[in-house]
Amino acid sequence: MEHIDILIIDDEEKFAAMLARRIELREYHSKVCHDGKTALQWIEKHLGFISLILLDLQLPDMYGTQVLEDIKKIHPTVPVAIMTGHGSEKDKKECERLGAFKFMYKPINIDSLMTILEHIKEVPND
């Protein structure tokens, strides 16, 4: 089973593909899912093979907070960072309450993201 450094959950196909390419150029592995249901199914099948999940709040089938809550039920220790272009302070507080460790506004700074990933990979994850 291939280890995935970053799972990107975002319905904006061009944005997700561009972010995945930028991650791959830095010699990390990524996987993209475009909706919450597909992502949750993928996570269930690949427990322990993900270092970081980047989750968009606005998905076509589920709101990001519901996906986050479900991720934490499946894999409580995986770090989840929220990405949004339109999130509110209320969204941020709800995501933090549900266990998100970071709330980021789009566009995503790739250097900051790589710093986060390096830090996460240094910390043992169950």
pLDDT score for 47: 84
- C-alpha to C-alpha distances, 121 to 22, 52, 90, 107, nearest whole angstrom: 18, 9, 30, 23
Q: Which two tokens stand for residue 4?
A: 């995935």
| Least confident piece of the model among 19-28, 57-66, 75-84, 114-123 | 114-123
In sequence order, what are the residues at sequence separation of 6 or more whose Cβ sits closer than 8 angstroms to the Cβ of residue 113? 6, 23, 54
Element at 94 (helix H, strand E): helix 89-98
pLDDT band at 122 (very low <50, low <70, confident <90, very high): confident
Element at 92 (helix H, strand E): helix 89-98
In sequence order, what are the residues at sequence separation of 6 or more whose Cβ sits closer than 8 angstroms to the Cβ of residue 66? 36
pLDDT band at 2 (very low <50, low <70, confident <90, very high): low
